[in-house]
Amino acid sequence: QVQLVESGGGLVQAGGSLRLSCAASGRTFSRHAMGWFRQAPGKERKLVAAISWSGANRYYADSVKGRFTISKDNTKSTVYLQMNSLKPEDTAVYYCAAKGGALATIVASYDSWGQGTQVTVSS
């Protein structure tokens, strides 16, 4: 497992941008696929974006395609989520997560989780 710490959340107006960062500790970070999930109050946690260990493959939920970009810097052991054109419905706690092996879209596939960072988008 790796230890993950998210940062970069906050309050932003609709149409604005935020960049989330997730710093990882652990020597095997470069071998991990990473995902960004979000959970709104009273709702289940859902995958927003994921990236393979090499960065070559990416997945985006339909709701964020064209607005969010996931990237991974193995030299800094950090994964990013650039969020543009934010909407009120993007409001949630955002979590990063890691898993060994291939990229996956199932929540239960990820075995390391950060503590989450709040993103609030005002209308």
* pLDDT tens profile 79-115: 999 999 999 999 999 999 999 989 999 999 999 999 9
Question: Among 65, 71, 60, which Cα is nearest to 21's?
Answer: 71
Q: Give the CA count within 13 Å in the CB-facing half-sphere of 72.
A: 25
Region 34-63: mean pLDDT is 96
Strand ranges (E), 1-110: 3-7, 10-13, 18-25, 32-39, 46-51, 58-60, 68-73, 78-83, 92-100
* Token representation of residue 73: 């810097």
Q: What is the pLDDT of residues 22-38, one digit of tens each?
A: 999 977 777 899 999 99
pLDDT at site 37: 98
The answer to whether the beta carbons of residues 25 and 114 sit under 8 Å apart is no
pLDDT at site 85: 98
The answer to whether the beta carbons of residues 1 and 66 sit under 8 Å apart is no
